[in-house]
Every structure is written in structure tokens, then in C-alpha cells.
Copies of this chain bind each other. A is one copy, B any other.
Amino acid sequence: MNRVILLKNRPKGKPSLKDFEFTEEEKPQPKEGEILLKTKYVSVDPYLRGRMRDEKSYIAPFEVGKPLESGIIAEVIKSNNKNFQMGDFVNGILQWKQFQISNGNGLNKVDRKNAPLKAYLGVLGLTGITAYLGLDKIGKLERGETLLVSGAAGAVGSIAGQIGKIKGCRVVGIAGSEEKIDRIKQKFGFDAGINYKTTDNIKKAIAEACPNGVDVYYDNVGGEILDAALANMNKFGRVINCGAISLYNETEPQTGPRVEPLLIKNSILMQGFIVRDFVKDFGPAQKQLAQWLEEDKISYLETVVEGFESIPQAFIDLFDGKNKGKMIVVV
């Protein structure tokens, strides 16, 4: 049989296990042109929370009673498609099923000779590419500038900060525990860190950590940390609005200080960043990241959880910051 995870209810506020349902179905058989995939590694990511809402967005919402999906590395265990062979590993947006059929569209083969397979969900996958292209396309980070990163100990943030260091910038990270602050400084080479949970005045803390102001803010969290960052932006500053995890579980639209006076005052750019808008740039980005990885210029952390049945809890744990770096479920 084939285990499948469905969206049972649209979560209200923070997702809970009750929002997910395990079911079983017949193990599918590939037809001509199709391949049978066995799920190996499942990426769980904060942005999936957005797809659980019933609203139009950059990607269709999940449907209640239907399987969830995310970035998955799977093994080809049967192939009726000449482009794939048994034993190949592929990366793509796939369903939360132990086994599934694909016609191969949207799948990329990954080679475990170049890097551990899991890396293709993280530093060499959408996570690393998100960090790289956000800085490249919107941040336009220049040597000598100051880069501020929120969610700095997270999967995207930790890579964004390291890219900032490679580019010759002062890099300051914001995270939610002393342990995370130590990690971003010691493991990822950030110049300074701010623990937002123990800081009375985050705006002042940013000002102190960024004596030359903030040129680029890589935002993964939104909310009050974004407000504090905006107040510290330099003339011509750029804000990469990559995520807003602080707001994802809110049930009502949130209010905050109006941004337009600050934007005008300092000619600041804010732009929503969705990595899928830049698919044509994925190849070069991945190549650059692979090179840095090989040169030991970037490192990464993973939190690996075991078992297909652990996928929903691993997702929920993201919102409590329980992951160190990229959260991956090995099936």
C-alpha cells in the first residue's frame, strides 16, 4: 500500500496535527512515458503555510482533502520513460506520498556524486537559490555595504549571510536565541547578531550593530523586525521581502507603522521576492553555490527528522524555530 498525507482542514493560526490526515491508496503503476518514484527526502518550508490558506497567491492553494506537496528528492524505481532510468534520483515539487507517478515534467535529475542528495533540497536547492537570487536580483549587494538578515539562523538566512561575507559586506543577523546567535557568528561568519527575544529595543540594537546603517535587508520574518530594519535603512536601501513568518499564522490582517513616509524619505526599495519568478536563473545560481560549497566558502546545517509519518510535525516545528538550518524529513 501507499501512504499519503492530505490537508484535512485549513489551519486556523498555527497549524496542528489535526490539520493533517494520513490515508492509504493503491500503489500506483506507471503507464507508457511515466516513471514510478519512491520518496526519499522531503523538504518542509514556512511558505507552505501560505498555500494552506484559501486565497489566490503566486501558487495555487492546497485543496482540503487532497495531498499536500513540497520539494522532494525521490528515487526512480520503475521507468517507462526514456529520459529516466531505474536508480536515478530526481528533485521536484512532489506530493506527500511514499510512492507516486510522474511523466517527468518539472523534475531535475540530481547526482549524489557532486553533493549529498539532501543538499539539493537546501543549499543547492530552492533554499540556497532563494538566498542567492534574492540578493542578486533585488538586493544588488555591493562590496563594503551592510547586509542585515532576519531569520538569520534559518535555512535561507544563514546562506544569505554567508553570501554577504563572500561579497565583502558587513553582515548582521537577527535570530531568536543565544544559541542561534552564537551559531551565525561562529559557524556562518556573521559579524554581529541580535537576539530579538531578549532585546528591549530592536531598532536601537540594529543601529548599534550597523554603525553605517543598513544598505540591504534580507527579510524572512516581516512584522516588527521589518519596521525596525526600515527605520535603519540608508538612502537607496533595498529590502528583499522574501518571507514574513511572523505573520503566517495570524488569523487577522495585521497593522503596523505606515512605510510610505520612510520609503520616500530615503528612496528605499521594497520588493516581494518569489524565487519561482526567476526559474531561468536557477542553473547559474546553483552552479555558483556548488562552487562555493566545494571551496568551503559556505557551510550549512540540516535538521533531519526520520519517517514519513513525521512530515506534519516537522512542518509545525518550523514555527517554533526548532530547526537548525534546513528542515528535512528522510523517509
Report B-chain residues with C-beta under 8 Å of the C-beta of A266: 58, 272
Whether B257 and A255, one on each chain, are in contact in the complex, defined by CB atoms closer than 8 angstroms, is: yes
A260-B226 contact given A269-B270, A270-B269, A272-B268, CB 8 Å threshold? yes
Closest Cβ neighbor of A276 among chain B residues? B267
A105 at the interface (CB under 8 A from B): no
Q: How far is the CB of A12 from chain B (nearest CB, A)?
A: 17
CA distance A175 to B257 in the complex (A): 25
Q: How far is the CB of A298 from chain B (nearest CB, A)?
A: 25
Binary B-proximity of A48-85 (CB < 8 A = 1, otherwise 0): 00100000011000000000000000000000000000
A183 at the interface (CB under 8 A from B): no
A125 at the interface (CB under 8 A from B): no
Whether B261 and A258, one on each chain, are in contact in the complex, defined by CB atoms closer than 8 angstroms, is: no
| Interface members, chain A 274-313 (any B CB < 8 Å) | 274, 277
| Chain A binding surface SS class | mixed
Q: Which of A109-117, A189-197, A235-243, A314-322 contacts B (4 or more CB under 8 A)?
A: A235-243
Q: How far is the CB of A11 from chain B (nearest CB, A)?
A: 16
Report B-chain residues with C-beta under 8 Å of the C-beta of A226: 260
Q: How far is the CB of A286 from chain B (nearest CB, A)?
A: 21
CA distance A70 to B270 in the complex (A): 30
CA distance A43 to B268 in the complex (A): 26
A241-B260 contact given A58-B265, A265-B58, A272-B266, CB 8 Å threshold? yes
A264-B243 contact given A258-B222, A271-B269, CB 8 Å threshold? yes
Whether A242 and B264, one on each chain, are in contact in the complex, defined by CB atoms closer than 8 angstroms, is: yes
| Interface members, chain A 24-39 (any B CB < 8 Å) | none
* Residue in B50, B258, B264 whose CB lies within 8 Å of A274: B264
- Size of the A side of the interface (Cβ < 8 Å), in residues, is 37
Q: How far is the CB of A157 from chain B (nearest CB, A)?
A: 15
A93 at the interface (CB under 8 A from B): no
A223 at the interface (CB under 8 A from B): yes
CA distance A256 to B263 in the complex (A): 15
Report B-chain residues with C-beta under 8 Å of the C-beta of A223: 258, 260
Closest Cβ neighbor of A58 among chain B residues? B265
CA distance A236 to B50 in the complex (A): 18
Report B-chain residues with C-beta under 8 Å of the C-beta of A255: 255-258
Report B-chain residues with C-beta under 8 Å of the C-beta of A251: none
Q: How far is the CB of A280 from chain B (nearest CB, A)?
A: 15
CA distance A328 to B10 in the complex (A): 57
Report B-chain residues with C-beta under 8 Å of the C-beta of A50: 265
A267-B277 contact given A235-B58, A253-B258, A257-B254, CB 8 Å threshold? yes
Provide 29 A-B residue pairs closer than 8 Å at the C-beta atoms, listed in order of the A residue: A58-B265, A219-B260, A222-B260, A222-B261, A223-B258, A223-B260, A236-B277, A241-B264, A243-B264, A244-B258, A244-B260, A244-B261, A244-B264, A247-B258, A247-B260, A253-B257, A254-B257, A254-B258, A256-B256, A256-B258, A260-B270, A263-B270, A264-B273, A265-B272, A267-B272, A267-B273, A267-B274, A267-B277, A271-B271
Which residues of chain A have a CB within 8 Å of any CB of chain B? 50, 57-58, 219, 222-223, 226, 235-236, 241-244, 247, 253-274, 277
